[in-house]
Amino acid sequence: MKNLKYIVLSLFSMVVITGCQDDDIEFGDITAPTNIQIDVDIQGADADNPNGDGSGIVNFITTADNVISFQYSYNGSVSSAPAGAQSYNFSILGLNTYSVTVIAFGTGGASTSKTIEVEVLSTYEPPADLITMLTANSSRTWRIKSEAPGHFGLGAIGGDLNGFFSAPPEDKAGVGMYDDRYIFNIDGTFTHITDNTNDDPDLNTDGTVFGRENLIDELNGPAPQDATANGADIENYPYFDYSEQWFLTGPGGVETLNLTGIGFLGYYIGGDHTYIIESRSANEMTVRSTDGNGEFDWGFILIAE
């Protein structure tokens, strides 16, 4: 009987091993990216100003062979950049050298990385009251002011922010916008909570977001097929909490909030993820941003909690 038991167990093990081997085949080839090329554009750099115009902004574009997506790592923070584009504001005053690492991912999770150093001049110092408003000098949470008329607007680029559309109070309830929270920390980190209603009693990073057709595909969410198309809007696109970096610039004297990677506010529109601050008070701000199609400006009213 013991011998029969061992034979049965051996046959069962062979079946399990064979099944695992078949599963492995489904993953396909594992290919690491090669030929990583990093293009660096220091804003305002020219023959007379090789380290930039003092804004501290540097735009990176990375390409590689056999690549699926990219990540950037700087100062201990990792940002997703599916298309290989990333911007940083190196805000330490003066001329400084910064090290940025790009990680390229191929099939089967294989990755290749490359590190580059850039020397950048920074002369812009954001107003102290703007930093206080945004972060409360520590950490501050914001939301779309859904109860206000015009909290979500659409207009011509550079024109009236509500010229084409101005959302009435609570107009977009249930589409994945109003339950989002945006946390700005004094250390420059930005966290987007995609559903603030499901974290009690335990943390749940799952949620949904709201965005523009095609452009929202840049998020590469876990289940885009579960989202709802409503005209050109994509409602309740499944997405998870994530973190990026934020920084402030003042091109032409205009206060501008910048988010790295896929960071966004309210409605995903792609583009350069920069938000011009149209107006602000101690606890509220109105911002505008141009979409990735170069088609419209989108406006949002945010209020601190």
Classify residue 221: in a domain, yes or no.
yes
Same domain, 172 and 227: yes
pLDDT in tens, 149-205: 999 999 999 999 999 999 999 999 999 999 999 999 999 999 999 999 998 888 899
Question: Which of 227, 226, 243 is closest to 235 using CA atoms?
Answer: 227
Question: Which of 103, 76, 72, 104 is closest to 88 using CA atoms?
Answer: 72
Same domain, 204 and 145: yes
pTM of the full structure: 0.73
Same domain, 114 and 214: no
Q: Where does a domain end: 73, 99, 122?
A: 122
Classify residue 24: in a domain, yes or no.
no
pLDDT of residue 295 exceeding 90, the answer is yes
Classify residue 28: in a domain, yes or no.
no
- Rounded to whole angstroms, how far apart are CA atoms 300 and 305? 16
Same domain, 241 and 265: yes
Classify residue 29: in a domain, yes or no.
no
pLDDT of residue 3 exceeding 50, the answer is no
Same domain, 191 and 149: yes
pLDDT of residue 28: 63
Same domain, 169 and 79: no
- Mean pLDDT across the chain, nearest whole number? 89
CB 239 within 8 A of CB 267: no
Q: Where does a domain end: 105, 122, 139?
A: 122
Same domain, 61 and 110: yes
Per the listing, tokens 């088609």 go with 295
Classify residue 45: in a domain, yes or no.
yes
pLDDT of residue 143 exceeding 60, the answer is yes
Classify residue 69: in a domain, yes or no.
yes
Same domain, 140 and 108: no
Query: In a 10 Å sphere around its CB, with 0-12 CB exposed, 13-18 middle and 19+ buried, how is residue 253 labelled?
Result: exposed
- Rounded to whole angstroms, how far apart are CA atoms 200 and 168? 30
- CA 280 to chain centroid, in Å, comes to 23
- Rounded to whole angstroms, how far apart are CA atoms 233 and 176? 11
pLDDT of residue 11: 39
Same domain, 227 and 157: yes
pLDDT in tens, 24-59: 445 568 999 999 999 999 999 999 999 999 988 899
Same domain, 219 and 265: yes
What's the CATH number where 56 sits?
Answer: 2.60.40.10
Domain encompassing residue 92: 34-122
Between the alpha carbon of residue 7 and those of residues 17, 19, 20, 21, 230, the distances in Å are 15, 18, 20, 21, 60
Same domain, 155 and 98: no
Between the alpha carbon of residue 177 and those of residues 70, 145, 239, 251, 262, the distances in Å are 27, 10, 12, 29, 16
Same domain, 206 and 233: yes
Classify residue 6: in a domain, yes or no.
no
CB 99 within 8 A of CB 38: no
Question: Which of 88, 90, 89, 70 is closest to 80 using CA atoms?
Answer: 70
Report how many domains make up the chain: 2
Between the alpha carbon of residue 141 and those of residues 191, 215, 242, 276, the distances in Å are 9, 26, 14, 19
Q: Where does a domain end: 122, 157, 175?
A: 122
- Rounded to whole angstroms, how far apart are CA atoms 165 and 198? 31
Enter the tokens of residue 190: 């930005």
Classify residue 13: in a domain, yes or no.
no
